[in-house]
Amino acid sequence: MTRSLNGILLAVVVALAGPVSALAADTNTSPDFQEVYDLIRQHATGLSTDELNRAAVQGLVAALGPRVALETNEAAANTAEGKKPLAETILFDGGIAYFRIARVSDDLAKAISNSYQQVRATNKVSGIVLDVRYANGSDYKAAADVVDLFVNKSVPLLNWGKGVVSGHEKPDAITVPVAVLVNHQTSGAAEALAAAVRESSAGLILGSRTAGSAMVMEDFPLKDGEHLRIGSTPVTLGDGTPLSTGGIKPDIDVTVSAEAERAFYADAFLVVSNPPSSSSTNMEASATNQTKVRFNEAELVREHRAGENPDEMTAKRPPEPQAPVVSDPALARALDLLKGLAVVRQSKS
């Protein structure tokens, strides 16, 4: 066992064991892990061997994450078996097509392409939002296939240990601007997808730094039925740049608390009395439930002839609700960005 690994093991065991935390004062000396483990087991009051083993495993996995991950049977069963990779498609005002990606897996590119063609058949599409917040997956070919939808020439995209995969020259590429939404829960192939979209100049990334787990994971079954997943191969962009274990930094940072982000993700039109403090927050969210009254010319003429006071009629008439305003900070910022780009492109055409 190497000295560096000894140091990690000592730090995590002592930190989690608690009663003998004074031993962790200096881990740079990297004492022998087995010696420390045995001393804790023999002398820590009220600490069973099972508890010590559990603390060592959990601490070690946490210290080495995301390069190492422990997957329980329940978590494995809940990974996207039967789960559609494309969860939702919405057309927002201004012709912005929104695609919510649940998981980067086989058939995702086909699902996005089909949905895009359906939207485009009846509407003019001026931009696309790919929402990979909370998305994961380990299918890097699927990630490359999605990015290939948005490139119209041969350009290197990704390499996950099987050689560089490139986009293809084609006349039917989707060439409208793309905004990719990410957060701390964007992991694995979803991170690679976002990074490759940016690298290929197809779009920009908005949100918060990603999980940093874009690597090929090798699966090792354990005796208790769980699985230990160890990152064995780094994933790189087409130019050879490795995807950092520190996560992908977005082009436009949108800061919002984890709780608020979950709420906005569930309801993009959520009405909030105190919008989150962020430079990217759509501050019009509080106006979502405002209403206004409209009169057409015929109504005004009829009420004038009847001697009705327009001001009194305004008070009596039921208000007409305004269209809801997107209050999800990341999505609102993406929509504003894409609408602005659409105006610029139109002015140049």
For position 346, what pLDDT does the model report? Answer: 82
Convert the pLDDT of each residue in 278-291 to its tens digit. Answer: 444 333 333 333 33
**Which tokens is 241 given?**
């740049």
Residue ranges of the chain with per-residue pLDDT less than 50: 1-5, 7-27, 80, 278-295
Give 223's DSSP letter: T
Give the C-alpha separation, 274 to 133, whole Å.
Answer: 23
Measured from the Cβ of residue 198, the count of other Cβ atoms closer than 10 Å reads 18
Measured from the Cβ of residue 16, the count of other Cβ atoms closer than 10 Å reads 18
**Which tokens is 338 given?**
């894409």
Place of tokens 């979803």: 190
> Among 19, 140, 124, 134, which residue's Cα sits nearest to residue 83?
134
Q: Yes or no: is domain 86-262 CATH 3.40.50.300?
A: no
For position 71, what pLDDT does the model report? Answer: 81
How much is the pTM? Answer: 0.75
For position 34, what pLDDT does the model report? Answer: 83
For position 77, what pLDDT does the model report? Answer: 52
